[in-house]
Structure 1
Amino acid sequence: MTKLYQLLFSSLILLATSTCYSQTKSIWTEADRKFLIDNLERTKLEIINQTKSLTSEQWAFKEDSTKWTIGQVLEHLGLYERIFAQEADIMLSSTPEPQLDSISLPDTSYINWMNDPSPHKAEWNAEPLGFMKGSDNLTFFLFGRNHIIDFIKNTTYDLKAHYTYRWGDEKRRSIHALMVVHFGHSDRHLKQIRKIKDNPKFPK
């Protein structure tokens, strides 16, 4: 078989696969959509409630020199709104791989990972710089969160058929799973915010 025929054959196989997939029922269901929206909205509202009445001193309080302020926690969360939105956008342009759903980890595995109290190291691109002041950090977070919620509400993509590339043992992760990690990450840092506010030295 010549290279031209090989290329033509490969193109026909890809077209047939894509056509077959487009005619099948989406793996990602309306119940999955609701699950993500409910939890993304829930964590958004909890973050608003935990920070809406903070003073400038409270936003900037540090438990010690090695810890983040509440402002930095919100900046970190806001950065991840953009990082995960971009990651999802890139991978949604890839060829669907619905066959990977059968070997994907359950949602509970990601939620349990985020609930693990052991320290997590922030990636360099999610390290807060602390230059924003007070409630500007909340505004920064909400702009990104509302964008992601609107995307989840309106997307027609199958979020369990498009996969990201990851490091370590888990090589692939669906966009749906990415968003489960996302709201779990918010819950993790809500605990951090409450811990900062419970510090006896937290400004009154």
Structure 2
Amino acid sequence: MITLLIISCRSKFIRCDPCRLEFSSTTAYEYHYESRHANVCSICQKIFPGAEWLKLHLDELHNVLLKLQKEKGGKIHKCYVETCSKYFSTPKMRRLHLIDKHKYPKHFPFDLVFTGTLTFEQLKKRDKKNKRRLKQREAIEMDVDKKPKRKNSFKQDPMDALAQEFNQKLKIPQTISFGRPTKPVLRKRQRKKKKDSAMDIE
């Protein structure tokens, strides 16, 4: 804190090194630091408005144990209200709970845990970047699919050939009945052909 004051007295501005922004007062700098650099995810670099939001983000997106718990059907999405101890299986269920029980507005950014605090321009840039990455991945996958597959130069094992031949000759019955034999339900009806009569020929 002392170094900040000395810098402030010499240059009259406090500079934030990561952002390269300058602030006229320590209060403005501290506010900027709290809002932009204090609660940043160390894994994906997303910014959050508070420590509780950062903790929720780390738990729901980067915690491997909770991901495994979710795959088994566990409830890992905690209610945003600190005094509420409910957990939900999906973010949608949590959103409905927040609107219904805690009277959150419907236009609240419920995806804040996943996106962080991004401005509209930052969201647009991120979406464009994600679309570009997706297109690149699809192009790479298409190139891989188009490449001709090499035929195996080695001969097939005789046992494998025998197994394939056996599978091809295996007959599967059309109908299976347990107990008394029944008539098959899905049998194609054959239409009887009318025999030519003497009247039709004339």
Does the pair score TM above 0.5?
no
Structure with the larger RCO, 1 or 2 (CA within 8 Å, 6+ apart): 1
Structure having the higher Rg: 2
Q: Normalised by the size of structure 2, how large is the TM-score? A: 0.21
